[in-house]
Amino acid sequence: MFDAWEIELHGHEVVYRVAGDGPPVVLVHGMLNASRHWAAVAERLAERHLVIAPDLIGHGDSATPRGDYSLGAHAAVIRDLLAALGIERATMVGHSLGGGIAMVFFWQFPERVERLALVSSGGLGDHVSPLLRSAALPGASALISLAGHPRLTDSLDRAGGALRDRGSSLGVQLQAIARALRPLGSIGAREAFVQSLRAVIDRHGQRVSATDRLYLLRDMPTLIAWGDRDRTIPVEHGRAAHRAVPGSRFVTIPGAAHFPHLERPDALAEALADFIATTEPARFDEETWQALLRGRSAARPRSAA
């Protein structure tokens, strides 16, 4: 069972789902997704692990306050949730926006991370689909409101189902679009989506990049997984990150586009389970973190102007 629970953090309701028992694994969803979308992956991992999947603030069934929707703010809420649950350290898994959050979680709280898995992750390059760039433009809120109307999402879902029955791969894409747009029917969710989107994307593409910090993953077991048909964030972002992180593991999920946890959950769960089983958990402390930073760039006197 992937049961939903709720907790109040800083005056706001945070919903999360839990399954299994064992070493903790945290699953962080992306924009327009929620914890429930991890269900098939979570149930597989729960055979050997305690799986925790939060609904990010502004997403799923969590609160949608007016406030900070930056990557760091999301990471801090996850830290506080885990602290409230008594979980000190975990393997962090993030999809899309959640990948960026998982990386920022590691930059901010390295002592809490045992492994890092990035699934079709944001923050590894500037390219992103034109649709998301357009949604970040000023004045796009009215179009976003129309996009979340139930008539449109229901029509897309029915058309996608019909195409899938005929064996067309386009049906999967249409149903994925319908699934992604449904949460936009709520005013609070629309505002949270726009704020989360504009925190990481502008008209030029992704505006937040982790590429200058990937060297910090040198001693962190890292898996990079990507759908081989992803048109939202190009798979080359994953390959480039793999080249930049010595010892990292890179896998493609055949037949999956941008949502491997929904399109090919068994394949993704297998890759995650194998990664966790065949790597030793990292242990970071202040001394380790200092050594990483000092090894990259030693302090030096600043020359006079």
For the chain, what is the radius of gyration of the CA atoms? 19
pLDDT higher than 70, residue 286? yes
Average pLDDT over residues 18-24: 97
Q: Quote the pLDDT of residue 124.
A: 92
CA dist 53 and 93 (Å) reads 10
From the candidates 95, 230, 242, 248, give the one annotated as an active-site residue: 230
Whether 111 maps to a domain, the answer reads: yes
Whether 163 maps to a domain, the answer reads: no
Whether 72 maps to a domain, the answer reads: yes
Q: Quote the pLDDT of residue 194.
A: 74
CATH code for position 246: 3.40.50.1820
In sequence order, the 6+-apart residues with CB closer than 8 A to the CB of 46 are 2, 19, 20, 21
- Is 230 tagged catalytic? yes
- Residue ranges making up the domain that contains 105: 3-127+208-290
Q: What is the 8-class DSSP label of residue 34?
A: -
In sequence order, the 6+-apart residues with CB closer than 8 A to the CB of 18 are 2, 3, 5, 50, 51, 52, 53
pLDDT band for position 184 (cuts 50, 70, 90) = low
Whether 252 maps to a domain, the answer reads: yes
Q: Quote the pLDDT of residue 12.
A: 95
Q: What is the pTM of this model?
A: 0.85
- Is 96 tagged catalytic? yes
From the candidates 35, 62, 96, 196, give the one annotated as an active-site residue: 96
Average pLDDT over residues 11-37: 95
Average pLDDT over residues 246-275: 95
Q: Quote the pLDDT of residue 97.
A: 93
From the candidates 49, 59, 95, 258, give the one annotated as an active-site residue: 258
Number of domains in the chain: 1
Mean pLDDT (the chain) is 87
Tokens of 47: 């055979």
CA dist 249 and 47 (Å) reads 23
Percent of the chain with pLDDT over 90: 58
pLDDT higher than 70, residue 153? no
Vertex 126: Cα angle to 73 and 260 (nearest 5):
75
Q: Quote the pLDDT of residue 186.
A: 65
Whether 266 maps to a domain, the answer reads: yes
Q: Quote the pLDDT of residue 185.
A: 58
Least confident piece of the model among 38-52, 77-91, 134-148, 210-224: 134-148
Q: Quote the pLDDT of residue 305.
A: 55
pLDDT higher than 70, residue 152? no
Q: Quote the pLDDT of residue 175.
A: 67
Q: Which secondary-structure segment (H or E) carries 56?
A: none
Beta strands per DSSP E along 68-209: 90-95, 113-119, 201-202, 205-206
Average pLDDT over residues 183-200: 71
Average pLDDT over residues 43-71: 93
Whether 81 maps to a domain, the answer reads: yes
pLDDT band for position 165 (cuts 50, 70, 90) = confident
Give the residue among 263, 281, 269 at the shortest CA–CA distance from 222. 281
Whether 150 maps to a domain, the answer reads: no
Average pLDDT over residues 199-204: 77
pLDDT higher than 80, residue 244? yes
18 forms bridges with which residues in the sheet? 3, 52
pLDDT tens readout for residues 69-125: 899 999 999 999 999 999 999 999 999 999 999 999 999 999 999 999 999 999 998
Whether 161 maps to a domain, the answer reads: no
- Pairing assessment for the beta strands 222-227 and 249-253 based on DSSP bridges: parallel
